[in-house]
DNA sequence: AGGCTGATTGTTGTATACAACATATCATTT
DNA sequence: AAATGATATGTTGTATACAACAATCAGCCT
């Protein structure tokens, strides 16, 4: 029926489900259960899981099953470190390459963030924040970079969500966005890069703070 | 018999074979042929190919087969652009974090490059150049970054190989390495970053030059 | 003669059957 | 009673059978 393989559909759906927190880190993904869940056999499920394994979303333990990736603190911090660099690169390139249409879209996303902030809706802000960042990825006009940034962004989503309700985080985040938009609008590549890197690094730092305060938060790999 | 799945062994072997040029970009990878080649059935082959597809080494065209990824000029240039950033990041971190053991290993790799240069053996230089760069990835002490850098490095190998015999490239490359080692030894993060970025960017530029001079070199995707 | 339609062929995608292995349970031995 | 080993069970990894689809070519119609 569908023109695209079942395994690919499954991969996307599972990825979404994991990112959305439907399956928590450490959960075992039972192929048979998923097969009956998605009305197919184990084969497409296996292929989907294999693909997710190569992107690092799940971890397969040979002969023991596949589990939603549970990253320890260092692994998350490392990823934030790389994310900061990639976002900074997106900003640097976007400052030089962004089109007026893309700038308009970025400013619209920014405005949407402002409304969510004013409404005090941090969940909504978080969602619109994602759109904002995707605008910058696109504006880098480097499709490979954009894809990689998007992938990492998705991987870190469960860990960024933890800091959703930290005091003043939304307000601070928006101010940082403000400076980023300004830098992009004025085509200041180095400033855009620095602001974006700092913006992401802050998230990594916040995560580290939380992990440090809740010692047993990042359980060792199951 | 083997403790690790066949599909994973296959994935690594196929990846090596592709990187080594045994299968050229655009080649079709026939699952049945590979199955008989590696003495197994289509299933592990399929899984290996799926995994390679998610890393971008091969491209699966639904219902039409899987092919070794054939990148057009822009796709390669984009990857070099990202590679430059990642290598620069490795350099920046390595300058601050490298241990004396790692510095020793780096200098040994550098010395091996010098010998290959003096012997005028550009193939050998190319190989030892890879070891040199891997030392820096490791010294970044960010395993995730190191893994990503290694992956991109492997992906670009077939396209870097094209410039192996460009006039003076080995000599210039070694001089660049010299400056990189110096920066890392003295812990100068910003210089290490800049030198490594420039080093990789030069390769991208060279590739671009070649592609421009041989117009039909990068054939459109089959 | 040229273009279109339909069967044919070969390949991919999926399901299922089977085998190999890891874990857990239970009996046996010390 | 504790520890160890064998068996049982359930899960994963692999092979194969089957179905669905795309490409090719032949035949027919215009």
* Inter-chain CB proximity B4 and A148 less than 8 Å: no
Q: Within chain B, where are the H helices?
A: 6-19, 31-37, 42-55, 73-97, 100-118, 122-139, 143-160, 169-185, 189-213
CA dihedral sign, ordered A195, A198, A204, A206: negative
CATH topology of domain A73-213: 1.20.120
Q: Are B29 and B69 contacting, i.e. CB atoms less than 8 angstroms apart?
A: no
Question: What CATH number is given for A6-68 in this structure?
Answer: 1.10.10.10
H/E segment holding residue A68:
strand A65-68
Structure tokens at A43: 């084969």
Q: Are A76 and A156 contacting, i.e. CB atoms less than 8 angstroms apart?
A: yes
Q: Are A165 and A120 contacting, i.e. CB atoms less than 8 angstroms apart?
A: no
CA A62-A217-A202 angle, 5° bins: 105
Write down the pLDDT at residue B178. 98
Rounded Cα gap, residues B165 and B123, in angstroms: 9
Residue-wise pLDDT tens digits, B159-199 = 887 787 788 889 999 999 999 999 999 999 999 999 999 99
A3 touches chain B (CB under 8 A): yes
Lowest-confidence range among A80-84, A138-142, B136-140, B218-222? Answer: B218-222
How far: B62 CA to C5 C1' (Å)?
A: 25
**Confidence at B30, pLDDT banded by 50, 70, 90:** very high
pLDDT of residue A166 exceeding 70: yes
CA A155-A158-A161 angle, 5° bins: 130
pLDDT of residue B220 exceeding 50: no
Q: B40 has which bridge partners?
A: none
Rounded Cα gap, residues B37 and B50, in angstroms: 18
* Inter-chain CB proximity B53 and A51 less than 8 Å: yes
Q: Are A27 and A12 contacting, i.e. CB atoms less than 8 angstroms apart?
A: no
B4 touches chain A (CB under 8 A): yes
Residue-wise pLDDT tens digits, A188-216 = 999 999 999 999 999 999 999 888 887 55
CA dihedral sign, ordered A31, A33, A35, A37: negative
Phi, psi dihedrals of residue B66, rounded to the nearest 5°: -115, 140
Domain with CATH 1.20.120.530 in chain B: 73-213
Q: Name, in order, each residue with C-beta under 8 angstroms of B214's C-beta and a sequence gap of 6 or more.
A: none
């Amino acid at each position: 029926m569908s023109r695209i393989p079942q395994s690919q559909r499954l991969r996307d759906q599972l990825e979404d489900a994991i990112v959305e927190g439907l399956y928590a880190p450490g959960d075992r993904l039972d192929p048979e259960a998923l097969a009956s869940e998605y009305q197919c056999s184990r084969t497409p499920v296996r292929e989907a899981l294999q693909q997710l394994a190569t992107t690092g979303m799940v971890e397969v333990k040979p002969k023991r099953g596949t589990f939603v990736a549970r990253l320890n603190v260092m692994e998350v911090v490392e990823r934030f470190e790389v994310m900061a660099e990639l976002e900074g690169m997106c900003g640097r390139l976007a400052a030089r390459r962004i089109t007026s249409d893309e700038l308009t879209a970025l400013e619209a996303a920014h405005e949407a963030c402002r409304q969510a902030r004013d409404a005090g809706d941090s969940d909504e802000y978080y969602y619109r924040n994602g759109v904002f960042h995707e605008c910058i990825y696109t504006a880098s006009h480097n499709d490979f970079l954009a894809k990689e940034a998007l992938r990492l962004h998705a991987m870190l989503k469960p860990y960024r969500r933890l800091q959703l309700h930290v005091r003043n985080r939304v307000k601070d985040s928006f101010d940082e966005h403000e400076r980023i938009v300004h830098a992009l609008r004025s085509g200041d590549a180095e400033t855009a890069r620095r602001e974006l890197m700092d913006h992401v690094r802050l998230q990594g730092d916040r995560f580290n703070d939380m992990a440090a305060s809740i010692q047993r938060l990042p359980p060792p790999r199951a």
